[in-house]
Amino acid sequence: MPSTDLLLTFNAGSSTVKIGIFAMDGDVARRIGKGVIDFRAEPLSLSLIAGPQTFETPLKAETTEDLHGVIDETFSLLAEHFDIAAVRAAGHRIVHGGDRFTSAVALNDAAIDAVDALTSLAPLHQPQALRFIRALRHLKPHLAQTASFDTAFHATQDDLVRRFAIPRALHDEGIKRYGFHGLSYKFIAGELRRKAPRTAKVVVAHLGSGASLCALDNGISRDCSMGFSTLDGIPMATRPGWLDPGVILHLAGQRKQSFAEIEDLLYHRCGLLGVSGISADTRDLVKDGRPEARQAIDLFTLRIAGEIGRMAATLNGLDAIVFTAGIGEHQPEIRAGVAKGLSWLGLAIDEKTNGANDFKISTRESRIAAHVIATDEEQIIAEEALTVLGSG
């Protein structure tokens, strides 16, 4: 029997990469495996799921800047479980596409250079994705590669929503709201069309280490809590979310902190970690009995509830809320905290279904629905890659 063509996806975060293995059945991408490499671990290891089996394999390669050794060894390990010779393409998640990239593209030299030119807009994530793109080019120079952009889904937002109150010339230079987590929101929009087709005005809460919210009107993005950068919006694991610009002026002026010090503070020492002084992980904070941990959780849920209220104004109404990503899918305590802050909207959570992470967690009497839907960014990357390859 001839081998089925395979497609790999690379979802690179700031410190991890999720690898999806998909079978290409015509114009359908069917997941057959997935892996994760955590670059914070010592030694590195590949966590791999192949069918019903799970493997944890240490990596001998060192984490060099070009990642050649890591990619080479990863492919060798994947070949023990999949027909790697049948891999025809690789799709990548790119956090920032600016105004140039409003859909997935094939990665040729010009496209890679254009993605690189946007690095200053996403300094935590863009370099990681580029490392994997270039490492794959080195290992398999003839392998087709595509890019899917987190910002592209939000290109439908009105110009007024995307503007800051700054001089028009700066807006025209690209200083505007872009929105992120678009691949996740695109997947959720598709799931809502399938599971709750009559639901029109929805706020989706993508709650993970990075967190944001998106206002959907019949599956179309109308607003997003993240704006110009991934620092914006609600508090995150180690990022502050909204912050008065005067704080930055104070740190740079009165306290004489350098750009590098301020950047490190904003990306790595704020958010839940900064408020609690204990942990960046909501699972740890929920279990911790200290008041600082409780305050971090309360601030997190307060800001989420407040942002949902703002987005209801953008949508001119609200039919439902969707919780997704690691925290949103698996932590009933966080969802209940958000719902408590939205009782004025008539939201009522069912304790039993919420505790079970069911699809619908609101009561029958609730004036708006609340859902839990698992997201799958790699599925969207794979589907967009097939679209690009089909059109090319």
Active-site entry in 25, 72, 109, 150: 150
Assess if residue 178 is contained within a domain: no
pLDDT at 66: 83
Assess if residue 168 is contained within a domain: no
**What CATH number is associated with residue 346?**
3.30.420.40
Instruction: Convert the pLDDT of each residue in 183-228 to its tens digit.
Output: 999 999 999 999 999 999 999 999 999 999 999 999 999 999 999 9
5 is catalytic: no
pLDDT level of residue 2 (50, 70, 90 thresholds)? very low
Percent of the residues in the chain that have a pLDDT greater than 90, as a whole number: 82
pLDDT at 3: 60
- Cα separation, 283 vs 369, in Å, equals 25
Instruction: Name the binding residues for Mg(2+).
Output: 11, 377
For 288-350, the DSSP string reads --SHHHHHHHHHHHHHHHHHHHHHHHHHTS--EEEEEHHHHHH-HHHHHHHHHTTGGGT--B-
On the question of pLDDT at 1 being above 50, the answer is no
Q: Are residues 287 and 209 in the same domain?
A: yes
Asked whether the beta carbons of 205 and 312 are under 8 A apart, the reply is no
Assess if residue 326 is contained within a domain: yes
- Cα separation, 319 vs 325, in Å, equals 20
Q: Are residues 223 and 361 in the same domain?
A: yes
Query: Total domain count for the chain?
Result: 2
Task: Select the more confidently predicted residue: 307 or 60.
Answer: 307
Instruction: Name the binding residues for substrate.
Output: 93
pLDDT at 392: 59
Look up the domain containing 344 and give its range. Answer: 197-372
Instruction: Name the binding residues for ATP.
Output: 18, 206-210, 281-283, 326-330
Instruction: Convert the pLDDT of each residue in 316-358 to its tens digit.
Output: 999 999 999 999 999 999 999 999 999 999 999 999 999 999 9
Q: List the Cα angle 174/178/179 in 5-degree steps.
A: 165
For 126-168, the DSSP string reads HHHHHHHHHHHHHH-TTSEEEEEETTGGGGGS-HHHH--SS-H
Assess if residue 391 is contained within a domain: no
Assess if residue 169 is contained within a domain: no
Q: Are residues 226 and 145 in the same domain?
A: no
- Cα separation, 150 vs 128, in Å, equals 15
Give the mean pLDDT of 239-264: 96
Give the mean pLDDT of 20-29: 90
pLDDT level of residue 391 (50, 70, 90 thresholds)? low
- Cα separation, 220 vs 153, in Å, equals 8
Structure tokens at 289: 């009995």
Instruction: Convert the pLDDT of each residue in 270-310 to its tens digit.
Output: 999 999 999 999 999 999 999 999 999 999 999 999 999 99
Partners of 7 in the beta sheet? 22, 89
Give me Rg for the CA atoms of the chain.
21
Q: Are residues 16 and 74 in the same domain?
A: yes
Q: Are residues 143 and 204 in the same domain?
A: no
What dihedral do alpha carbons 32, 37, 38, 42 form, nearest 10°? 140
Q: Are residues 315 and 253 in the same domain?
A: yes
Assess if residue 219 is contained within a domain: yes
